[in-house]
Structure 1
């Protein structure tokens, strides 16, 4: 039952991101969240506070306007005090010329008592760099 609730919450978080509502996602995070988005591009991040993650989400969604996520798989294991969840996803990034760019990734979450304490995303950073190059640099 508990693992089903975690999966439902993860699906809801991706649905909120698809609508551009990152505040509901942030409400799931611990104040001392460890957040990592890899790469050597303008959206790469290694953060350890909720205000910094909020700023990152603002920048991410304003840069990749209209990005959409599709969940492919979710795996959850562990007890409420130390839960690990892995989500395999595909994203679609609309480009200024009307084309779309696709990327796949995996999200690693560590959850303690209902709050996400660690969020690490693993994507194809070359695709992300290519998309950002076509979109242009963020204005944040």
Structure 2
């Protein structure tokens, strides 16, 4: 049952992310949520709180990126739920083939409120593409 509910919520949040609906996404987050995108790309950072995370969502959406989830796993109890998933996102590059990268995400949820969110992308070209140099 928990896996079904988490899967439905994930479908909804991916739709919100792909359409740039930051307000809907942030309603699920705690005021002091931590959002981490490790690396050296323009999107990388350790963001705290809804205002910083809202700006990140807008920057990601401005790339025209589209996220697609391939598989996920849920563990824990409602007071300390962990959600992991594997994804690809596609970034369109005018005049060139779309850039497709893969990664995984870890989300920690307490009683239905997102507290922590980590994105891991194994991609040496991230900096170049996100900077618009490719």
Q: TM-score, normalised by structure 2?
A: 0.91
Select 1:118's aligned residue among 116, 119, 125.
116
Select 1:79's aligned residue among 77, 92, 99.
77
- How large is the Cα RMSD of the aligned pairs? 1.4
Distance 1:16 1:98 in 2: 27
Report if aligned partners of 1:67, 1:92 keep a CA contact under 8 Å in 2: yes
Distance 2:28 2:125 in 1: 28
Pairing 1:106–2:104 present: yes
Distance 2:51 2:45 in 1: 13
* 1:67-114 deviation per Cα after TM superposition (whole angstroms, max 9, x unaligned): 111111010011100000001001110012242001001010000000
Q: How many residues align?
A: 133
The equivalent residue for 1:130 is 128
Report if aligned partners of 1:72, 1:87 keep a CA contact under 8 Å in 2: yes
- Which ranges of structure 1 fall in alignment gaps of 5 or more residues? none
Measured after TM superposition, the shift of residue 58 of structure 1 is: 1.5
Q: TM-score, normalised by structure 1?
A: 0.88
